[in-house]
Amino acid sequence: MTYEPSEAKIISVKKYAEDVKLFKVKTKINPLPGQFFQLSILGIGECPLASCSYNKKYADVLVKNSGSVTNTLFNLKKGDGVFIRGPYGRGYNFKEIEGKNLVLAAGGTGIAPVASLIDYIEQNRKNFGEIKILFGFKDESFILLGDRIERWKKKFDFTLCLDKYAGKLKYEVGLLPDILKKKKINSENTCGVLCGPEIMMKSATAKLNSVGIKNDKIYWNMERRMECAAGSCGRCLIQDLYTCKDGPVFRYDIIKEKLENESAK
């Protein structure tokens, strides 16, 4: 495991919402989809972040302003430097998902690791079957990666879901799991990939189960629980599993009972 950070320059900054920006950072650290790295700012601290790209020359980092590190990062601009170490964790198991049809469902900034997986799929399209994507956001002002979404709409079966929308209907309106329930999904040779609030993933899993996709074919990304990335703080524990070391991507059949035991305490 690499603990020494390397300096990385910010190539560009793009604002998507009041509290969300996309930072393109020049680095040779190229996490596999679902892995993460630690981004640090000298004198401030560090935080775990997933890349929302798959590229050997740079990493796209979708950042929500929610703490001291991300608040400082929000004030940085093109040409400024940050420090990155990693990658860490276990991402998507390509031995299990390649050759399969995929249903990818994510909400809010949880789209980041799924976006890196879509990047990978675009670069290795022949290795995958039918791709069905659903992204969910609060409303039109919270839509992230809109430029990529327009590209993905041309390549995949893509659905954009908004919790609420007041304009002319060009999006699906409603919570992502409710929209997913309306979709026709062929369960044969199909895996589900989910990222977002756990309540959303649980509801989406119920829909996938109802059409015959079993829990050993459904993958949850639990990155929202991570803190130190080294298994030291214990904040990301799911009973005996460390999200930062054993995950953040887990097959649902492996963590289902552990999550239920947590809730029962």
Q: What pLDDT, on a 0 to 100 scale, did the predictor assign at position 80?
A: 96
Tens-digit pLDDT profile for residues 84-142: 999 999 999 999 999 999 999 999 999 999 999 999 999 999 999 999 999 999 988 89
**Can you tell me the distance from the alpha carbon of 2 to that of 109, in angstroms, rounded to the nearest whole number?**
26
Q: Do domains 6-88 and 94-221 have the same CATH topology?
A: no
Which superfamily is assigned to 6-88 in CATH?
Answer: Translation factors (2.40.30.10)
Tens-digit pLDDT profile for residues 130-147: 999 999 999 888 999 999
Tens-digit pLDDT profile for residues 58-70: 999 999 998 889 9
Rounded percentage of the chain residues whose pLDDT exceeds 70: 97
Query: Mean pLDDT across the stretch 25-30?
Result: 92
Q: Are 236 and 243 in contact (CB under 8 A)?
A: yes
What are the domain boundaries of the chain?
A: 6-88, 94-221
Scan for tokens 């050997």, then name that residue: 56
Model confidence at 1: pLDDT above 70: no
Return the ∠ at Cα 184 (arms to 211 and 168), rounded to 5°.
Answer: 135
Model confidence at 219: pLDDT above 70: yes
Q: Are 21 and 63 in contact (CB under 8 A)?
A: yes
Instruction: Residue 153: count other Cβ atoms within 10 Å of its Cβ.
Output: 13
Q: pLDDT category, 255, cuts 50, 70, 90?
A: very high
Q: pLDDT category, 230, cuts 50, 70, 90?
A: confident
Q: What pLDDT, on a 0 to 100 scale, did the predictor assign at position 2?
A: 61
The pTM assigned to this predicted structure is: 0.93
Rounded percentage of the chain residues whose pLDDT exceeds 90: 80
Scan for tokens 């996309």, then name that residue: 22
Classify domain 94-221 at the CATH topology level. Answer: Rossmann fold (3.40.50)
Between 118 and 236, whose confidence is greater? 118
Q: What pLDDT, on a 0 to 100 scale, did the predictor assign at position 38?
A: 92
Query: Mean pLDDT across the stretch 229-252?
Result: 88
What integer best gives the mean pLDDT of the chain? 92
Instruction: Residue 110: count other Cβ atoms within 10 Å of its Cβ.
Output: 24
